[in-house]
């Protein structure tokens, strides 16, 4: 490739890791990489601090939505 220490497989791994981080499903990764096994495709799904924060934020938003729905359902309806 002309860059010392850089191999084609390094680029493949980076590309597929970025695909996984973009939200690609396991089935998407298997098709993209040509792997038949889940285990081989899971190599590209690295845990990241950014992903962990997004998951925590999504869970918090869901809890807040549920709290809001529950509170609205408990309020007595007052006809105007």
pLDDT value, residue 37: 93
pLDDT value, residue 59: 95
Q: How far is Cα 54 from Cα 62, in angstroms, rounded to an integer?
A: 12
pLDDT along the chain (80 residues), means of 10: 85 91 91 93 82 90 90 69
Q: How far is Cα 30 from Cα 47, in angstroms, rounded to an integer?
A: 18
Q: Is 5 left (phi over 0), alpha (psi -120 to 50) or beta?
A: left
pLDDT value, residue 48: 72
Q: If you count DSSP H runs as helices and E runs as strands, how many of each does the chain have, helices first?
A: 4, 0
pLDDT value, residue 14: 92
**Is the pTM here over 0.85, yes or no?**
no
Digit-coded pLDDT (tens) for 57-67: 999 999 999 99
pLDDT value, residue 77: 66
CA 5 from centroid of its chain's CA atoms? 30
């Amino acid at each position: 490739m002309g860059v010392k220490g850089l191999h084609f497989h390094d680029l493949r791994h980076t590309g597929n890791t970025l695909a996984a981080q973009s939200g690609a499903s396991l089935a998407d990764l298997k098709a993209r990489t040509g792997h038949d096994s889940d285990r081989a495709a899971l190599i590209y799904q690295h845990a990241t601090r950014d992903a962990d924060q997004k998951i925590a934020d999504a869970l918090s938003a869901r809890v807040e939505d549920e709290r809001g729905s529950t509170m609205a359902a408990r309020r007595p309806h007052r006809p105007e």
